Amino acid sequence: MGNNSAESTGIVAEGIQRSFGSVQAIRAMDFTAPAGEVTALIGPNGSGKTTLLLILASLLAPDAGSVRINGFDPLTQAGAVRATVGWMPDTLGTWESLTATEILTTMGAFYGLGRSAAAARAAELLDTVHLTEYADQPARVLSRGQQQRLSLARALIHDPSVLLLDEPASGLDPASRVDLRVLLRRLAGEGKTILVSSHVLSELDEMADRAVFVARGETVKTQSLSDAGTQERWYTVRALDTGKLLRQVDAQQLQYRQPQDQQRPHVQIRVSGEDAAAELLRNLVLADVGVTAFAPSGGALEETYMSLETDRR
């Protein structure tokens, strides 16, 4: 089984660079993912996310820089790193003629599990990802979402202390996304280091403790989710009388906008953090504005991502 001890130190990468021919996939990345937390890796396509994950998984060597996974160097201690890391690529990429159970027990054998231990672990994980009824079905009959769930089980087979997940929610139905979020929060609570790369920023808001934003092969921002509550955000406000709402917004000299492409009329108001949002709602209620909806217009991570995108343009 993997290392769940208090000595787990998570992931530390400094000055990472990697090129493919003339293409510089990673220019300069400094990256930390602490044990006991879910860290989100966020960036557009081509930003170097998957290349970084491959380097962290010891499957690709950096041209420059250093990486430590629980204190081990993937370049010189690849065996130790692979024993402690669970890697979930963005596609299953496995033997389609093997059954779900056979895939997991074979992977278990690769990690040194005995036959009975591998079989027990496979059955446990198939139950965890709700694939027990497909235990004896070949992988080729599984849907995209079911293959993702099997890929997650495969990454967990040796009970790793570090999980690297590349687009784990891709293809999952809403119920499976909730299951994934609950599972990853539980594993983080057990002290595991979890790194999730995803385009589904709303999912990451509910799942992650911190986020690392990358663009054009560079790390551009690190943000804890607790910090996100203090940043400026747009809040969507609906009221029984939109005119009365707008008069109050003008009176308080707040920045606002009125989207015209929405089915129901509302106003988006720029607010400086959660304390300011609470004060705004209080003032609107005291002014007898009939507020019917009041919430952030988007997730905290989406807000940060869009502000970074705006800065880059």
- pLDDT for the residue numbered 197: 92
Q: Is the pLDDT of residue 236 over 80?
A: yes
- pLDDT for the residue numbered 262: 63
- pLDDT for the residue numbered 101: 96
Structure confidence by residue, pLDDT tens digits, 175-189: 888 999 999 999 999
Pairwise pLDDT comparison (14 vs 233), residue with the higher score: 14
- pLDDT for the residue numbered 261: 64
Structure confidence by residue, pLDDT tens digits, 51-86: 999 999 999 999 999 999 999 999 999 999 999 999
Q: Are 2 and 161 contacting, i.e. CB atoms less than 8 angstroms apart?
A: yes
Give the contacts of 209 (CB within 8 A, at least 6 positions apart): 37, 38, 39, 188, 224, 225
Per-residue pLDDT band for 1 (boundaries 50, 70, 90) equals very low
Per-residue pLDDT band for 308 (boundaries 50, 70, 90) equals confident
- pLDDT for the residue numbered 106: 94
- 284 in helix, strand or coil? helix
DSSP label of 235:
E
Lowest pLDDT segment from 57-66, 174-183, 197-206, 241-250: 197-206
DSSP label of 35:
T
- pLDDT for the residue numbered 107: 93
Structure confidence by residue, pLDDT tens digits, 14-30: 999 999 999 999 999 99
Structure confidence by residue, pLDDT tens digits, 255-282: 998 887 666 788 999 988 888 999 999 9
Pairwise pLDDT comparison (76 vs 199), residue with the higher score: 76
Structure confidence by residue, pLDDT tens digits, 102-160: 999 999 999 999 999 999 999 999 999 999 999 999 988 998 889 999 999 999 999 99
Pairing of strands 232-239, 291-296: antiparallel
Of 150, 106, 112, the closest CA to residue 132 belongs to 150
- pLDDT for the residue numbered 303: 74
Domains and CATH numbers, the chain: 11-224 (3.40.50.300), 229-312 (3.30.70)
Chain-wide mean pLDDT for the chain? 88
Positive or negative, the CA dihedral 42, 48, 49, 52 is negative
